[in-house]
Amino acid sequence: MKKHILSYFVLFFSIIAISSCSEKNVKLSYIVNSENYPTSMLNYFKPPYESCLKVYSSEEFWIVEQHCQNSKYKKGIYVLETGRIKYFQWYDSKFSEWANTEGCNSNTDCYYSVNLDGNENIKELKYYYHINLSEGYYRLLRIKDSLKIIDNSNTDIAS
């Protein structure tokens, strides 16, 4: 009996160790020029690209913020996840509108960090920004087909 219990504990902790090792974090940087958009994204979003389309990318992963409603695309966030495009509504539409209108202080001041599970599916997103004299982040948890704010921070920087 004790051997079986010990075996189950060893198996349980081995599974936890393996699953935590298979998670990864990916940083997605803002892509300024449409000529540098990821090829996989170009198969979905066709030119001409509107000024309200913002693309963040890593080597194998991308996020598109669609800030204009049109006949093809709804406002929100589009994510390439395990070869599929996933759509999410804005997590904070007022903030998203403000961030798009004001723009980041530089091309590197706004980016996403994505936490993926072992199957390359999104578990969590974190959007970092430095816009005007505001700096902060939104931490978002994926729950089915929506993004829920679980933490956010905004600091006003003295001028």
Structure tokens at 135: 């700096």
Q: What is the pLDDT of residue 1?
A: 56
CA distance 55 to 33: 9
CA distance 85 to 108: 25
Q: What is the pLDDT of residue 125?
A: 94
Q: What is the pLDDT of residue 141?
A: 96
Contact call for residues 140 and 127 (beta carbons, < 8 A): yes
Q: Write out pLDDT tens, residues 40-71.
A: 787 777 776 667 789 999 877 889 999 888 77
How far CA 28 is from CA of 35, 39, 61, 126, in Å, comes to 17, 15, 8, 10
Q: What is the pLDDT of residue 10?
A: 38
Query: DSSP letters of 30-92?
Result: EE-SGGGS-HHHHTTSPSSPPTTEEEEE-SS-EEEEE-S--SS--SEEEEEETTEEEEE--SS
Predicted model pTM:
0.79
Cis preceding linkage at 47, omega within 30: no
Q: What is the pLDDT of residue 8?
A: 41
State the pairing for strand pair 111-116/122-131: antiparallel
Q: What is the pLDDT of residue 50?
A: 66
Could you give the domains of the chain? 24-156 (2.40.128)
Q: What is the pLDDT of residue 5?
A: 52
Q: What is the pLDDT of residue 27?
A: 93
Q: Which residues of the chain have pLDDT under 70?
A: 1-22, 48-50
